[in-house]
Amino acid sequence: MKKIEAIIKPFKLDDVKDALNAIGIKGMTISEVKGYGRQKGHTEIYRGAEYVVDFIPKIKIEIVVGAEQVGQVVETIRNAANSGTIGDGKIFVMPVERIVRVRTGEEDHDAI
């Protein structure tokens, strides 16, 4: 079992969600986050005063899948989220020890 965390550009969320639905991913959690990497921030101007905004809005998607699906999911996200420009984001994969479905108590693969 693996957790995939992808940081993407907000406007790519619908493309990524549709692409993941198309390969049978049935659930995900998203959050609005802020951050910066090589893209850096941007400058805003208010009445002549310049403000450098370091942190820019991104979307974080979290998905948990079986180990055998990881390659396909990562590839799908990468294709859908790619705009070819700096700041497209990153994908992290990490191990998951245990999963419990709250309603039924099912565990691990049955609970995905």
Partner 1 sequence: MDTGDTAFMLIATAMVMVMTPALALFYGGLVRRKNVLATTMQSFVCLGIIPIIWVVYGYSLAFGPDVGHFIGNFDHVFLKGIGLEPGPYSATIPSLLFCAFQLMFAIITPALITGAFAERMKFTAFLAFTVLWSTFVYLPVCHWVWGQGGWLGAMGALDFAGGTVIHINSGAAALVAALVLGKRKGYGRDSMHPHNLPMTVLGAGLLWFGWFGFNAGSALGAGPIAVLALFTTQVATAAGALAWGIAEWKVQGKPTTLGVASGALAGLVAITPGAGFVSPVSAIIMGGVAGVICYLAVLVKSKMGYDDSLDVVGVHGVGGIWGALATGIFASTAVNPAGNGLLSGNAHQVVVQAVGAGTTIAYSVVVTFIILKVIDVVIGLRVSSDDETQGLDLTQHSEVGYDL
Least Cβ distance, residue 48 to partner 1 (angstroms): 5
Least Cβ distance, residue 60 to partner 1 (angstroms): 19
Least Cβ distance, residue 18 to partner 1 (angstroms): 28
Q: CA-CA distance, 64 to 110, in Å (whole number)? A: 12
Which residue's structure tokens are 């370091």? 54
Residue 103 within binding range of partner 1, rule CB under 8 A? no
Asked if 59 and 8 count as a contact pair (C-beta separation under 8 A), the reply is: yes
Asked if 33 and 5 count as a contact pair (C-beta separation under 8 A), the reply is: no
- Positions in 54-93 near partner 1 (CB under 8 A): none
- Positions in 14-53 near partner 1 (CB under 8 A): 44-49, 51, 53
Query: In this structure, what token pair is assigned to residue 86?
Result: 């700096």
Using CB under 8 A as the criterion, which residues of the chain lie in contact with partner 1 when the complex forms?
A: 44-49, 51, 53
